[in-house]
């Protein structure tokens, strides 16, 4: 979408191309809603996105925030160039965007399914709760691109972790040798369609998709279409709940992989009138995969960001210690220059084995392992929090028992714990 003058000729812009892309993507995303959105709201969203991007940039690299008049011109131009859309000075109303595509990876949509089973941790035997399965499905073939199993309500965070899984190559034969079929999908979809619900609106999700050059669409899903798309996964939930009511997390992962790759992907799908895996393989022969320029930098985009102070023992986070020679060298540098030892670090909520600490001198992230790799390897944030809560409860119970013994000795009677 290029700026145009009143006579239709292209008007030169003083904004960087990156800013123009932000403006274009934001307007396109908002046009996918049904409600009226004011141009003032669009300008605010663009401003917030650019401020978030500038937060991690040097002074000379910061992006300029476009004026309200610039955004106004782009919105009006977009409305005039899109047949069937209604644009006004006060706001614009848009129609529902269908989940249609002409080739694989052109568009993907997100499905969330609540599984009616109870999951326990295989290491601690602690109950983790009833899981959700978030899936990213290719619209053209209905082939699964990625997934994420979680225990919190679906949100932009669960979408991001499912998208991360969709991007990376999946060598599942090593983990699940009994699976007959490989998971062929990896790479970036051109467009990702998510529900229009409030919990899926986030500057972090928008910024991540923008940096990956993925067009993010917030679409109000028609109930009939949603039911049609989600039916195979609801069927899997029914079969799973009939088979068992309790299962370990690793066993659940294996069952989902087996069903996705050997059952769902290899059977006829009425939505595409064919077998998803066959349609995917035949059409991907002539469709190049779009990959991020740097997989390491891309994975950092999907991690949680925190602050911590470096001590002589390293960094403490969630009761875990992380330390490395490089981290201690950074600590020495900060102390030498009289700076605060508080640093920014990122961690993967699906694997607490390491964190990534930002070195402001080298302008890169340092990989810092946990001192207890035997416990933290492949341990998720959710299972660790469940473990900490159980540990805290046991400490409270022990304190109560000790106190009760003293009271019994002194008074001849103790208290009953409620």
pLDDT at 141: 93
Q: State phi, psi for 353 to the nearest 5 degrees.
A: -70, -20
Q: Tell me which fold the domain 107-293 belongs to.
A: Nucleotidyltransferase; domain 5 (3.30.420)
Give pLDDT tens digits along the chain (418 positions): 444 443 433 344 568 888 888 888 888 777 655 455 677 778 888 888 888 888 888 878 888 889 888 888 888 777 655 433 434 333 433 333 345 788 899 999 999 999 999 999 998 899 999 999 999 999 999 999 999 999 999 999 999 999 999 999 998 888 899 999 999 999 999 999 888 777 788 888 988 998 898 989 887 654 545 566 677 888 888 888 887 778 999 999 999 999 999 999 999 998 888 999 999 999 998 777 888 888 999 999 999 999 999 999 999 999 999 999 999 999 999 999 888 899 999 999 999 999 999 999 999 999 999 999 999 988 999 999 999 999 888 876 666 566 555 545 454 444 444 4
Give percent helix, percent strand, percent coil of the chain, each to the nearest 5: 40, 20, 35
pLDDT at 76: 73
232 close to 269: Cβ distance less than 8 angstroms: yes
Q: Cα(19)–Cα(211) distance, rounded to whole angstroms?
A: 12
pTM for this prediction: 0.73
pLDDT at 407: 47
- 3-state SS assignment for residue 320: strand
Residue carrying structure tokens 């899981």? 131
pLDDT at 364: 93
Q: Cα(378)–Cα(371) distance, rounded to whole angstroms?
A: 14
Q: State phi, psi for 316 to the nearest 5 degrees.
A: -100, 130
What are the residues whose beta carbons fall under 8 Å from the beta carbon of 99, sequence distance 6 or more?
Answer: 107, 109, 139, 193, 219, 225, 229
Closest CA to 75 of 21, 39, 25, 35: 39
- 3-state SS assignment for residue 148: strand
pLDDT at 85: 40
Q: Cα(366)–Cα(255) distance, rounded to whole angstroms?
A: 36
Asked if CATH classification 2.40.50 holds for the domain at 303-376, the reply, yes or no, is: yes
What is the CB-side half-sphere exposure of residue 166 using CA atoms within 13 A?
A: 30
pLDDT at 79: 61
Question: What's the Cα-to-Cα distance from 96 to each of 93, 220, 386, rounded to whole Å?
Answer: 10, 7, 41
Strand segments, DSSP code E, in 69-211 are: 86-87, 92-93, 107-114, 118-120, 127-129, 132-138, 144-150, 191-195
């Amino acid at each position: 979408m290029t700026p145009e003058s009143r006579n239709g000729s292209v008007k030169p812009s003083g904004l960087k191309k990156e800013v123009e892309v932000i403006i274009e993507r934001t307007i396109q995303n908002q046009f996918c809603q049904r409600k009226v959105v004011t141009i003032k709201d669009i300008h605010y969203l663009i401003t917030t996105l650019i401020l978030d991007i500038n937060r991690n940039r040097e002074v000379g690299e910061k992006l300029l925030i476009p004026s309200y008049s610039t955004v106004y011109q782009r919105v009006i131009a977009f409305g005039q160039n899109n047949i069937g859309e209604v644009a006004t000075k006060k706001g614009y109303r848009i129609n529902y965007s269908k989940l249609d595509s002409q080739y694989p990876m052109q568009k993907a949509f997100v499905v969330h399914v609540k599984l009616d089973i109870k999951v326990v941790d295989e290491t601690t035997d602690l109950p983790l709760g009833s899981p959700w399965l978030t899936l990213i499905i290719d619209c053209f073939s209905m082939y699964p691109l990625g997934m994420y199993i979680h225990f919190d309500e679906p949100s932009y965070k669960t979408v991001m972790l499912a998208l991360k899984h969709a991007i990376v190559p999946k060598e599942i034969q090593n983990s699940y040798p009994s699976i007959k079929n490989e998971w062929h999908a990896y790479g970036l979809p051109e467009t990702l369609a998510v529900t229009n619900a409030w919990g899926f609106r986030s500057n972090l999700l928008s910024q991540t998709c923008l940096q990956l050059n993925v067009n993010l669409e917030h679409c109000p899903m028609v109930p009939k279409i949603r039911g049609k798309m989600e039916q195979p996964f609801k069927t899997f939930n029914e079969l799973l709940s009939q088979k068992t009511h309790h299962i370990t997390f690793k066993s659940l992962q294996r069952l989902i992989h087996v069903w996705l790759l050997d059952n769902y992907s290899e059977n006829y799908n009425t939505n595409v009138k064919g077998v998803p895996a066959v349609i995917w393989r035949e059409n991907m022969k002539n469709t190049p995969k779009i990959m991020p320029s740097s997989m390491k930098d891309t994975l950092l985009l999907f991690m949680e960001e925190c602050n911590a102070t470096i001590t002589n023992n390293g960094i403490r986070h969630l009761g875990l210690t992380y330390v490395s020679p490089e981290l201690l060298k950074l600590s020495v540098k900060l102390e030498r220059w009289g700076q605060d030892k508080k640093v920014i670090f990122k961690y993967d909520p699906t694997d607490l084995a390491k964190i990534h600490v930002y070195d402001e001198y080298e302008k890169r992230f340092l990989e810092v392992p946990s001192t207890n790799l035997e416990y933290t390897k492949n341990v998720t944030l959710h299972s660790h929090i469940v473990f900490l809560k159980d540990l805290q409860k046991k400490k409270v119970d022990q304190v109560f028992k000790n106190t009760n013994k003293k009271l019994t000795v002194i008074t001849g009677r103790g208290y009953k714990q409620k």
